[in-house]
Amino acid sequence: GAGVSQTPSNKVTEKGKYVELRCDPISGHTALYWYRQSLGQGPEFLIYFQGTGAADDSGLPNDRFFAVRPEGSVSTLKIQRTERGDSAVYLCASSPTRGDTQYFGPGTRLTVL
Amino acid sequence: QKEVEQNSGPLSVPEGAIASLNCTYSDRGSQSFFWYRQYSGKSPELIMFIYSNGDKEDGRFTAQLNKASQYVSLLIRDSQPSDSATYLCAVNGGVHTDKLIFGTGTRLQVFP
């Protein structure tokens, strides 16, 4: 079956702009996770959803970051007033239910100029 | 601060040898442990998971967990050049969350 998909694969934006990153999880997976990965580092947790609700948003670095999953499937990560330090690969993962193995999508490479 | 520690490498082994990758973690409440492989420019791919103390084998891969020592390892037998990648150790963030905490990864190089 299809894996986790993320769009766009690459996003270049200017400092101060708003961006949206989309994640489409594996069909039937109820848990969805966002991470970001900087060069030479492991993925860093941002937020995860169980169904439509954010079960843990403790990794969001500040209030410029927000994520939604209104229908319990597709999720959008929203970043306002982007900064150069936001440049990273944003990874989405899904799992059949909470606590199960997480399967990663290909990521979105965000570059803030 | 909950941490997962890995040696960044590179770990260089000859083809056919055993590669041993190690990871320590700080949170005694962690229940689940994962090894992901990440090729350059690609996303992490699950290799193995382990929940109980002891060894778990899957083909050429063996995961080992020692909760008392807060130590998890991955052995790769008969290493192949295609195993050359970064190996990420991940630990669940405790009993009240399902987030994963990753180490920085160990880069493995298998030379012919």
For residue A3, what is the nearest residue in chain B, using CA coordinates? B45
User: DSSP secondary-structure letter at B10?
Assistant: -
Helices (H), A14-102: none
Residue range B34-73, pLDDT digits in tens: 999 999 999 999 999 999 999 999 999 999 999 999 999 9
| Structure token digits, residue B58 | 């899957």
SS3 assignment, position B82:
helix
| Contact state of A43 with B102 under an 8 Å Cβ cutoff | yes
Average pLDDT of the segment spanning B93-103? 83
Task: With a cut of 70, list the residues of chain A below it in pLDDT.
Answer: 1
CA of A103 to nearest chain B CA: how many angstroms apart? 7
Residue B30: what pLDDT?
A: 87
| Structure token digits, residue A24 | 């489409």
Average pLDDT of the segment spanning B18-47? 94
Chain B residues with CB under 8 Å of A101 CB are 34, 46, 49
Torsions phi, psi for A43 (to 5 deg): -60, 140
Chain B residues with CB under 8 Å of A41 CB are 104
pLDDT at residue B104 tops 70: yes
pLDDT at residue B2 tops 70: no
CB B11, CB B24: distance < 8 Å: no
pLDDT at residue B96 tops 90: no
Residue A1: what pLDDT?
A: 58
Residue A6: what pLDDT?
A: 98
| Contact state of A44 with B98 under an 8 Å Cβ cutoff | no
The bridge status of strand A19-24 relative to strand A75-79 is antiparallel
Chain A residues with CB under 8 Å of B43 CB are 91, 104-107
| Contact state of A45 with B104 under an 8 Å Cβ cutoff | no
Residue B1 — very low, low, confident or very high, per pLDDT cuts 50/70/90? low
Chain A residues with CB under 8 Å of B37 CB are none
Residue B97 — very low, low, confident or very high, per pLDDT cuts 50/70/90? confident
| Contact state of B101 with A105 under an 8 Å Cβ cutoff | no
| Structure token digits, residue A17 | 């702009």
Share of chain B above pLDDT 70, in %: 96
CA of A45 to nearest chain B CA: how many angstroms apart? 7
